[in-house]
Amino acid sequence: MNIILLGPPGAGKGTQARVLVERDGMVQLSTGDMLRAAVAAGTEVGKRAKAVMDAGNLVTDEIVIGIISDRLDEPDVKGGAIFDGFPRTLAQADALGDLLAAKGMSLDKVVEMRCDDEELVTRVIGRFTCSGCGEGYHDTFKPPKVEGECDKCDANGFVRRPDDNEDAMRNRLFVYYKETSPLIGYYYAKDNLAMVDGTAAIDEVTAQIAQALKN
Ligand code: ADP
Ligand code: ADP
Ligand code: ZN
Protein backbone atom coordinates (compact mmCIF):
# COMPACT_ATOMS: atom_id res chain seq x y z
CA MET A 1 0.00 0.00 0.00
CA ASN A 2 1.26 3.48 -0.90
CA ILE A 3 -0.09 6.48 0.98
CA ILE A 4 0.39 10.21 1.38
CA LEU A 5 0.32 11.91 4.78
CA LEU A 6 -0.90 15.39 3.91
CA GLY A 7 -0.89 18.20 6.42
CA PRO A 8 0.73 21.46 7.50
CA PRO A 9 4.10 21.59 9.26
CA GLY A 10 3.73 20.16 12.76
CA ALA A 11 0.58 18.16 11.98
CA GLY A 12 2.35 14.95 13.04
CA LYS A 13 3.23 13.45 9.65
CA GLY A 14 6.72 12.36 10.66
CA THR A 15 5.53 11.04 14.03
CA GLN A 16 2.85 8.87 12.44
CA ALA A 17 5.07 7.80 9.54
CA ARG A 18 7.55 6.36 12.02
CA VAL A 19 4.78 4.33 13.65
CA LEU A 20 3.76 2.90 10.27
CA VAL A 21 7.39 2.06 9.49
CA GLU A 22 7.86 0.21 12.78
CA ARG A 23 4.48 -1.52 12.78
CA ASP A 24 3.88 -2.29 9.10
CA GLY A 25 7.36 -2.23 7.60
CA MET A 26 6.49 0.56 5.19
CA VAL A 27 9.17 3.04 4.13
CA GLN A 28 8.98 6.74 4.95
CA LEU A 29 9.75 9.01 2.00
CA SER A 30 10.24 12.42 3.56
CA THR A 31 11.48 14.99 1.06
CA GLY A 32 12.32 17.25 4.02
CA ASP A 33 14.63 14.57 5.48
CA MET A 34 16.17 13.91 2.06
CA LEU A 35 16.79 17.61 1.50
CA ARG A 36 18.32 18.02 4.98
CA ALA A 37 20.63 15.08 4.20
CA ALA A 38 21.64 16.83 0.95
CA VAL A 39 22.33 20.06 2.86
CA ALA A 40 24.43 18.17 5.44
CA ALA A 41 26.36 16.37 2.69
CA GLY A 42 27.00 19.67 0.89
CA THR A 43 25.73 18.40 -2.47
CA GLU A 44 24.75 20.72 -5.33
CA VAL A 45 21.06 20.22 -4.46
CA GLY A 46 21.81 20.91 -0.80
CA LYS A 47 23.55 24.16 -1.66
CA ARG A 48 20.59 25.30 -3.75
CA ALA A 49 18.06 24.30 -1.06
CA LYS A 50 19.60 25.54 2.22
CA ALA A 51 18.56 29.21 2.29
CA VAL A 52 15.13 28.44 0.81
CA MET A 53 14.46 25.89 3.54
CA ASP A 54 15.74 28.11 6.36
CA ALA A 55 13.26 30.81 5.28
CA GLY A 56 10.41 28.30 5.11
CA ASN A 57 9.85 28.55 1.37
CA LEU A 58 9.52 25.65 -1.05
CA VAL A 59 12.44 24.34 -3.05
CA THR A 60 11.69 23.90 -6.76
CA ASP A 61 9.36 21.21 -8.02
CA GLU A 62 12.14 20.02 -10.31
CA ILE A 63 14.44 19.24 -7.37
CA VAL A 64 11.93 17.34 -5.23
CA ILE A 65 10.38 15.45 -8.14
CA GLY A 66 13.89 14.33 -9.14
CA ILE A 67 14.66 13.18 -5.60
CA ILE A 68 11.40 11.22 -5.32
CA SER A 69 11.76 9.68 -8.77
CA ASP A 70 15.22 8.32 -7.87
CA ARG A 71 14.02 7.10 -4.48
CA LEU A 72 11.10 5.19 -6.03
CA ASP A 73 13.58 3.13 -8.02
CA GLU A 74 15.07 1.61 -4.86
CA PRO A 75 13.77 -1.89 -4.07
CA ASP A 76 12.62 -1.23 -0.49
CA VAL A 77 9.64 0.90 -1.60
CA LYS A 78 7.95 -2.27 -2.83
CA GLY A 79 6.92 -2.91 0.80
CA GLY A 80 4.76 0.23 0.72
CA ALA A 81 5.66 3.91 0.65
CA ILE A 82 4.55 6.70 2.95
CA PHE A 83 4.93 10.05 1.24
CA ASP A 84 5.63 12.58 4.00
CA GLY A 85 5.89 16.21 2.93
CA PHE A 86 5.49 15.35 -0.74
CA PRO A 87 3.64 16.37 -2.87
CA ARG A 88 3.38 20.01 -1.77
CA THR A 89 2.19 21.64 -5.01
CA LEU A 90 -0.31 20.70 -7.70
CA ALA A 91 2.57 20.21 -10.15
CA GLN A 92 4.18 17.76 -7.71
CA ALA A 93 0.88 15.91 -7.32
CA ASP A 94 0.54 15.52 -11.08
CA ALA A 95 4.16 14.41 -11.34
CA LEU A 96 3.67 11.84 -8.59
CA GLY A 97 0.67 10.39 -10.41
CA ASP A 98 2.76 10.09 -13.59
CA LEU A 99 5.74 8.58 -11.77
CA LEU A 100 3.64 5.96 -10.00
CA ALA A 101 1.88 5.02 -13.24
CA ALA A 102 5.20 4.74 -15.08
CA LYS A 103 6.60 2.49 -12.36
CA GLY A 104 3.48 0.33 -12.15
CA MET A 105 2.60 1.56 -8.65
CA SER A 106 -0.66 2.92 -7.26
CA LEU A 107 -1.70 5.50 -4.71
CA ASP A 108 -4.05 3.87 -2.22
CA LYS A 109 -4.96 6.62 0.24
CA VAL A 110 -4.27 10.24 1.03
CA VAL A 111 -4.67 10.96 4.74
CA GLU A 112 -5.25 14.60 5.55
CA MET A 113 -4.11 15.44 9.09
CA ARG A 114 -6.07 18.47 10.20
CA CYS A 115 -4.84 20.68 13.02
CA ASP A 116 -5.28 24.11 14.59
CA ASP A 117 -2.75 26.79 13.51
CA GLU A 118 -1.67 27.97 16.97
CA GLU A 119 -1.25 24.35 18.06
CA LEU A 120 1.00 23.83 15.02
CA VAL A 121 3.20 26.77 15.97
CA THR A 122 3.52 25.45 19.55
CA ARG A 123 4.36 21.98 18.27
CA VAL A 124 7.00 23.09 15.81
CA ILE A 125 8.73 25.46 18.21
CA GLY A 126 8.99 22.72 20.86
CA ARG A 127 10.14 20.02 18.44
CA PHE A 128 13.50 18.24 18.66
CA THR A 129 14.92 15.03 17.23
CA CYS A 130 17.37 12.33 18.33
CA SER A 131 20.60 12.78 16.39
CA GLY A 132 21.23 9.03 16.58
CA CYS A 133 18.00 7.46 15.27
CA GLY A 134 15.85 10.41 14.21
CA GLU A 135 13.08 9.77 16.75
CA GLY A 136 10.96 12.92 17.13
CA TYR A 137 10.20 14.56 20.48
CA HIS A 138 8.48 17.61 21.92
CA ASP A 139 9.39 19.69 24.99
CA THR A 140 5.87 19.37 26.41
CA PHE A 141 3.88 16.86 24.35
CA LYS A 142 6.45 14.09 23.93
CA PRO A 143 9.49 14.47 26.16
CA PRO A 144 11.93 11.51 26.35
CA LYS A 145 11.02 9.12 29.21
CA VAL A 146 14.40 9.86 30.83
CA GLU A 147 15.46 13.47 30.39
CA GLY A 148 18.29 13.84 27.89
CA GLU A 149 18.13 10.21 26.71
CA CYS A 150 16.47 8.85 23.59
CA ASP A 151 13.70 6.28 24.22
CA LYS A 152 14.74 4.29 21.16
CA CYS A 153 18.55 4.22 21.00
CA ASP A 154 21.73 4.76 23.02
CA ALA A 155 22.53 8.16 21.59
CA ASN A 156 22.00 11.10 23.91
CA GLY A 157 22.28 14.05 21.56
CA PHE A 158 19.32 15.94 20.18
CA VAL A 159 18.96 18.46 17.35
CA ARG A 160 16.57 21.28 16.58
CA ARG A 161 15.93 22.41 13.00
CA PRO A 162 17.00 25.92 11.97
CA ASP A 163 13.57 26.49 10.38
CA ASP A 164 11.67 25.54 13.57
CA ASN A 165 11.50 29.16 14.75
CA GLU A 166 8.39 31.33 14.85
CA ASP A 167 9.15 33.52 11.80
CA ALA A 168 10.00 30.65 9.45
CA MET A 169 7.11 28.60 10.83
CA ARG A 170 4.53 31.35 10.18
CA ASN A 171 5.83 31.60 6.61
CA ARG A 172 5.66 27.80 6.22
CA LEU A 173 2.02 27.89 7.30
CA PHE A 174 1.29 30.61 4.74
CA VAL A 175 3.04 28.56 2.04
CA TYR A 176 1.03 25.51 3.10
CA TYR A 177 -2.28 27.30 2.67
CA LYS A 178 -1.22 28.92 -0.59
CA GLU A 179 0.54 26.04 -2.37
CA THR A 180 -0.31 22.76 -0.63
CA SER A 181 -3.87 23.01 0.71
CA PRO A 182 -5.36 22.85 -2.85
CA LEU A 183 -4.20 19.22 -2.83
CA ILE A 184 -7.00 18.43 -0.38
CA GLY A 185 -9.59 19.20 -3.07
CA TYR A 186 -7.44 17.55 -5.72
CA TYR A 187 -7.38 14.20 -3.89
CA TYR A 188 -10.98 14.52 -2.74
CA ALA A 189 -11.95 14.75 -6.40
CA LYS A 190 -9.87 11.66 -7.13
CA ASP A 191 -11.81 9.91 -4.37
CA ASN A 192 -8.90 8.78 -2.24
CA LEU A 193 -8.96 11.32 0.56
CA ALA A 194 -9.51 10.49 4.25
CA MET A 195 -9.36 12.99 7.10
CA VAL A 196 -8.10 12.45 10.63
CA ASP A 197 -8.12 14.76 13.63
CA GLY A 198 -4.48 15.77 14.00
CA THR A 199 -5.19 17.58 17.27
CA ALA A 200 -5.96 14.30 19.06
CA ALA A 201 -3.34 12.51 21.20
CA ILE A 202 -0.59 10.74 19.24
CA ASP A 203 -1.99 7.22 19.88
CA GLU A 204 -5.50 8.33 18.96
CA VAL A 205 -4.26 9.76 15.66
CA THR A 206 -2.48 6.43 15.00
CA ALA A 207 -5.79 4.62 15.56
CA GLN A 208 -7.69 6.99 13.26
CA ILE A 209 -5.11 6.47 10.50
CA ALA A 210 -5.34 2.68 10.89
CA GLN A 211 -9.11 2.96 10.51
CA ALA A 212 -8.79 5.24 7.45
CA LEU A 213 -6.44 2.78 5.76
CA LYS A 214 -8.92 -0.08 6.21
CA ASN A 215 -11.61 1.70 4.21
P1 ADP B 1 5.33 17.07 10.82
O2 ADP B 1 6.19 15.91 10.33
O3 ADP B 1 3.94 17.00 10.30
O4 ADP B 1 5.96 18.41 10.57
P5 ADP B 1 5.97 16.05 13.50
O6 ADP B 1 5.56 14.62 13.42
O7 ADP B 1 7.43 16.34 13.47
O8 ADP B 1 5.20 16.91 12.39
O9 ADP B 1 5.33 16.66 14.84
C10 ADP B 1 5.60 18.00 15.24
C11 ADP B 1 5.83 18.06 16.75
O12 ADP B 1 4.59 17.81 17.43
C13 ADP B 1 6.83 17.03 17.29
O14 ADP B 1 7.55 17.63 18.32
C15 ADP B 1 5.93 15.88 17.80
O16 ADP B 1 6.55 15.20 18.91
C17 ADP B 1 4.68 16.62 18.24
N18 ADP B 1 3.44 15.88 17.96
C19 ADP B 1 3.18 15.08 16.90
N20 ADP B 1 1.92 14.58 16.95
C21 ADP B 1 1.36 15.12 18.08
C22 ADP B 1 0.06 15.01 18.71
N23 ADP B 1 -0.91 14.26 18.16
N24 ADP B 1 -0.13 15.70 19.85
C25 ADP B 1 0.84 16.46 20.39
N26 ADP B 1 2.07 16.60 19.86
C27 ADP B 1 2.33 15.94 18.72
P1 ADP C 1 7.52 20.23 7.89
O2 ADP C 1 6.62 19.09 7.59
O3 ADP C 1 7.87 20.36 9.33
O4 ADP C 1 7.09 21.53 7.30
P5 ADP C 1 9.59 19.15 6.08
O6 ADP C 1 10.72 18.47 6.76
O7 ADP C 1 8.60 18.33 5.34
O8 ADP C 1 8.92 20.09 7.17
O9 ADP C 1 10.18 20.23 5.05
C10 ADP C 1 11.15 21.16 5.43
C11 ADP C 1 11.44 22.10 4.26
O12 ADP C 1 11.98 21.35 3.16
C13 ADP C 1 10.23 22.83 3.68
O14 ADP C 1 9.90 24.01 4.40
C15 ADP C 1 10.71 23.12 2.25
O16 ADP C 1 11.64 24.21 2.25
C17 ADP C 1 11.50 21.87 1.92
N18 ADP C 1 10.64 20.82 1.30
C19 ADP C 1 10.35 19.60 1.82
N20 ADP C 1 9.55 18.92 1.00
C21 ADP C 1 9.31 19.74 -0.07
C22 ADP C 1 8.51 19.61 -1.24
N23 ADP C 1 7.80 18.50 -1.49
N24 ADP C 1 8.50 20.66 -2.11
C25 ADP C 1 9.22 21.77 -1.87
N26 ADP C 1 9.96 21.96 -0.77
C27 ADP C 1 10.01 20.95 0.12
ZN1 ZN D 1 17.48 7.77 19.25
CA dist 30 and 33 (Å) reads 5
Q: Which of 13, 18, 36, 109 is catalytic?
A: 13
Q: List, for residues 52-103, the tens digit of each pLDDT value.
A: 999 999 999 999 999 999 999 999 999 999 999 999 999 999 999 999 999 9
Q: List, for residues 130-144, the tens digit of each pLDDT value.
A: 999 999 999 999 999
* DSSP secondary structure of the chain: --EEEE--TTSSHHHHHHHHHHHH--EEEEHHHHHHHHHHHT-HHHHHHHHHHHHTPPPPHHHHHHHHHHHTTSGGGGG-EEEES---SHHHHHHHHHHHHHTT----EEEEEE--HHHHHHHHHTEEEETTT--EEETTTB--SBTTB-SSSS---EE--TT-SHHHHHHHHHHIIIIITHHHHHHHHTT-EEEEETTS-HHHHHHHHHHHHH-
User: Among this protein's residues, is 103 annotated catalytic?
Assistant: no
CA of 153, nearest ligand number: 3
CA distances from 7 to 25, 102, 182 (A): 22, 26, 11
Q: Which residues line ligand 1 (CB under 6 A)?
A: 7, 9-15, 123, 126-127, 136-138, 141-142, 200-202, 205
- pLDDT band at residue 179 using 50, 70 and 90 as cut-offs: very high
Q: List, for residues 3-43, the tens digit of each pLDDT value.
A: 999 999 999 999 999 999 999 999 999 999 999 999 999 99
- Residue 156 in this model has a pLDDT that exceeds 90: no
Measured in degrees and rounded to the nearest 5, phi and psi for residue 198 equal -70, -10
- Residue 198 in this model has a pLDDT that exceeds 90: yes
- pLDDT band at residue 215 using 50, 70 and 90 as cut-offs: confident
CA dist 127 and 105 (Å) reads 34
- pLDDT band at residue 196 using 50, 70 and 90 as cut-offs: very high
Percentage of residues of the chain with pLDDT beyond 70: 100
Instruction: Decide if 38 contacts 46 (C-beta within 8 A).
Output: yes
The residue type found at 94 is D
CA dist 191 and 176 (Å) reads 22
Measured in degrees and rounded to the nearest 5, phi and psi for residue 138 equal -140, 140
- Residue 161 in this model has a pLDDT that exceeds 90: yes
pLDDT on residue 153: 96
pLDDT on residue 27: 98
User: Among this protein's residues, is 172 annotated catalytic?
Assistant: yes
- With the most atoms of ligand 2 within 8 angstroms of its CB, the residue from 48, 52, 58 to mutate is 58
CA of 176, nearest ligand number: 2
User: Among this protein's residues, is 13 annotated catalytic?
Assistant: yes
Average pLDDT, the chain: 97
Measured in degrees and rounded to the nearest 5, phi and psi for residue 121 equal -65, -45
**End-to-end distance of the chain based on CA atoms, in angstroms?**
12
- With the most atoms of ligand 1 within 8 angstroms of its CB, the residue from 15, 127, 197, 208 to mutate is 15
- Answer yes or no: is the C-beta of 55 below 6 A from any ligand 2 atom: no
- Answer yes or no: is the C-beta of 172 below 6 A from any ligand 2 atom: yes
